[in-house]
Structure 1
Amino acid sequence: MINLVLFGPPGSGKGTQAQHLIEKFNLKQVSTGDLFRFNIKNETELGKLAKSYIDKGELVPDQVTIDMLVDELRKPSDAAGYIFDGFPRTAKQTEALEQIVKEELNADITICLALVVEDETLVQRLLKRGETSGRTDDSNEEIIRNRIKEYYAKTAEVAELYKQQGKYVEVNGIGEISEIAEKLFAEVEKITK
């Protein structure tokens, strides 16, 4: 079973590369953003609870997110593993994810793949995406720079934990999409052979 954490700042191509990894290794993507939207839209108990925090402008507590993850992992799946996207973001969440994967899947996190792209390239990519995506957070350079800074601040401790375990690998996120995908595949295959 392959269980990977996919890192990358906004604009790094993480969404695109996740699709390539899913197709290549028969993985199921678990995106905390998608889980929140699904649970809120379907008015599940966890969705209502999450919405109560969001409506007050507060962060949703880790336990609510963790409970959503556990629910998702308990759903029947013929996938050969999972891509965790958007979680973990803190050391505490990293420990929680490792415990969940062990308890629910009887497995471990295989690897943490991080797409690395220079900040200026990220800003240009997001501004370009903003021209067609309709996302307001992709059309304001100040907001984009803040999102990138926030990403690095939040993920630094997670990266450090995976480095200590020898599971953290950085991959250059600049180049042809297919070339980047091949680099990611090679890193996963090194560990799974």
Structure 2
Amino acid sequence: MRLIFLGPPGAGKGTQATRLVEKHGIPQLSTGDMLRAAVAAQTPVGLKAKAIMDAGGLVSDDVVVGIVADRIEEPDARKGFILDGFPRTLAQAEALDRLLDEKGLKLDVVLELDVDQSALVDRIVKRAEDSKAAGQPVRKDDDPEVFKQRLEAYNRDTAAVAPYYRERGLLKKIDGMKSIDEVTAEISQALTA
């Protein structure tokens, strides 16, 4: 199974992807996590991406596509994968199609978590508070001001990706405002339909 999660930051893509990883035994390929790992390792790509990510911006398509291309070659991704946070732009979606086509692969489904964006800031503030309470570091992109910039970038750049996949018959909308378990159930139903 090869699938993409779409939805604005804070919609629950990571939470739901984790559940699918457990259920189906395929890796979650979060470009954010891959980029954060590159930043932590201070790789050339990581150093290049750090300033952009800290400001809430998006790294260049060539860097992200290169990271994804390398990652889907790993043995654990051969049975399938979940892309979380990619593609973020129409150009990335087109590049992903070319990349998969070159590898003889195809997407099975694109799940879009549909959420009330006005509720997302509250969700992010709570996520930051929960991280602090658990003694974990708070992600820089969970700062409300940085988050608002990320949401603006999503609305400007990523909103065009859903229609691209809808036209290809791959898009399924999921009500991301339901409880976590209800969203999981709706996703399971969408994957078997």
Distance 1:125 1:184 in 2: 20
Structure showing greater Rg: 1
In structure 2, do the counterparts of structure 1 residues 64 and 128 end up closer, same or farther at CA, with 3 Å as the change threshold?
A: closer
Q: Does residue 138 of the first structure (1) align with residue 142 of the second (2)?
A: yes
With 55-64 and 65-74 compared, the bigger mean Cα shift is at 55-64
Q: CA deviation at 1:19?
A: 0.8
Aligned residue number for residue 135 of structure 2: none
Cα shift readout 1:124-155 (whole Å, capped 9, x = no counterpart):
21222222334354353x54434323212221
Aligned residue number for residue 164 of structure 1: 167
In structure 2, do the counterparts of structure 1 residues 92 and 78 end up closer, same or farther at CA, with 3 Å as the change threshold?
A: closer
RMSD: 2.5
* Contact map agreement 1:28 1:79 (CA 8 A) in 2: no
Q: Which runs of 5+ in 1 are unaligned?
A: none
In structure 2, do the counterparts of structure 1 residues 121 and 153 end up closer, same or farther at CA, with 3 Å as the change threshold?
A: same
Aligned residue number for residue 109 of structure 1: 107
Letter in 1 for 2:44: K
Q: Does residue 48 of the first structure (1) align with residue 51 of the second (2)?
A: no
The percentage of counterpart residues that share the same residue type is 34
Aligned residue number for residue 24 of structure 2: 25
Letter in 1 for 2:119: T
Q: Does residue 61 of the first structure (1) align with residue 57 of the second (2)?
A: no
Aligned residue number for residue 81 of structure 2: 82
Aligned residue number for residue 122 of structure 2: 124
* Contact map agreement 1:18 1:83 (CA 8 A) in 2: yes
Q: Aligned to 1:113, what secondary structure does the other structure show?
A: strand
Name the TM-score, length of structure 2 as normaliser: 0.82
Name the TM-score, length of structure 1 as normaliser: 0.82
Distance 1:53 1:18 in 2: 24
Distance 2:64 2:143 in 1: 29
* Contact map agreement 2:165 2:171 (CA 8 A) in 1: yes
Q: Which runs of 5+ in 2 are unaligned?
A: 133-137
Cα shift readout 1:103-143 (whole Å, capped 9, x = no counterpart):
23x22111111111112321221222222334354353x54
Cα shift readout 1:42-77 (whole Å, capped 9, x = no counterpart):
45xxx3145246458896432222222121111212
* Contact map agreement 2:26 2:82 (CA 8 A) in 1: yes
Distance 1:85 1:102 in 2: 20
Distance 1:19 1:98 in 2: 24
Aligned residue number for residue 186 of structure 1: 189
Distance 2:62 2:6 in 1: 21
In structure 2, do the counterparts of structure 1 residues 35 and 130 end up closer, same or farther at CA, with 3 Å as the change threshold?
A: closer
Q: Aligned to 1:175, what secondary structure does the other structure show?
A: coil
Q: Does residue 37 of the first structure (1) align with residue 36 of the second (2)?
A: yes
Distance 2:26 2:127 in 1: 27
Distance 1:144 1:25 in 2: 31
